[in-house]
Amino acid sequence: MAEEVATVDLRALGLAPGAAARMRLSVPPVELRLGGQDYRTDPASPEVDLEVTRALTGLALRLRTTVDLVGPCMRCMEPARVRLEVDASEYAADDPPADDAAFDEDVASVYVEDDQLDLALWARDSIAEVVPVTILCRDDCAGLCPTCGANRNLAPCDCVVEVADSRWEALRELAERLAKEPGTG
């Protein structure tokens, strides 16, 4: 496996205006904590495609990768895996605004400082950005029984599910009362 790269020296690329450099790099493992559970990338050190293009006033950066995120299913806690497609862009101006100026994301990348690209942080943030709201072992995961904790994907349990909904309860009472009242017709 390729050596992990956390930082890229953009100046060392020595790009002339209009020139571009493309490289495939392995970044350090990404671990995310979601909903109180730990998720990690698989492969552990994701390979990313980094593209650096020299424009007249700065560097255009593009990061792409396809990686799996693995961890517990958010419903049943069994192992789950989700495929993530990352395609992120940044622009790093040659003359970033002074510290006291308002930070402008269009010209200054938070991942570039002194021509050093924090590739590890950028990759981590880009991956975190495309994580779906729910990570499931399968789309129709039945989850755990809230009463006995059994995994409903494996076997149904005998728990009676109490559906407490006051609106239906009110309708039921009304129906019973109508049924008891003597007919008028």
114 CB-side CA count, 13 A: 1
Stretch that binds Zn ion, among 22-30, 68-76, 113-121, 176-184 (CB under 5 A): 68-76
- We find the least distance from the C-beta atom of residue 39 to Zn ion, in angstroms, to be 14
- We find the least distance from the C-beta atom of residue 141 to Zn ion, in angstroms, to be 3
Q: Name the DSSP class of 144.
A: B
Residues 69-88 contacting Zn ion, CB under 5 A: 73, 75-76
Q: Which is nearer to Zn ion, 5 or 141 (CB)?
A: 141
Q: Which is nearer to Zn ion, 75 or 124 (CB)?
A: 75
* Lookup: tokens for 133: 């709201």
d(CA 118, CA 184): 81
Nearest-5° Cα angle at 27, 26 to 28: 125
Q: How far is CA 184 from CA 82, 109, 180, 181, in A?
A: 62, 78, 12, 9
Interface pick for Zn ion out of 27, 69, 137, 144 (rule CB under 5 A): 137
Cα 83 → chain centroid? 10
Interface pick for Zn ion out of 20, 110, 154, 159 (rule CB under 5 A): 159
- We find the least distance from the C-beta atom of residue 169 to Zn ion, in angstroms, to be 23
Stretch that binds Zn ion, among 4-12, 43-51, 106-114, 158-166 (CB under 5 A): 158-166
Q: Which residues pair with 86 in a beta bridge?
A: 65
Q: Which is nearer to Zn ion, 110 or 159 (CB)?
A: 159
Longest dimension (CA), the chain: 95
Residue 145 lies near Zn ion (rule: CB under 5 A): yes
Residue ranges in contact with Zn ion by CB under 5 A: 73, 75-76, 137, 141, 145, 147-148, 150, 157, 159
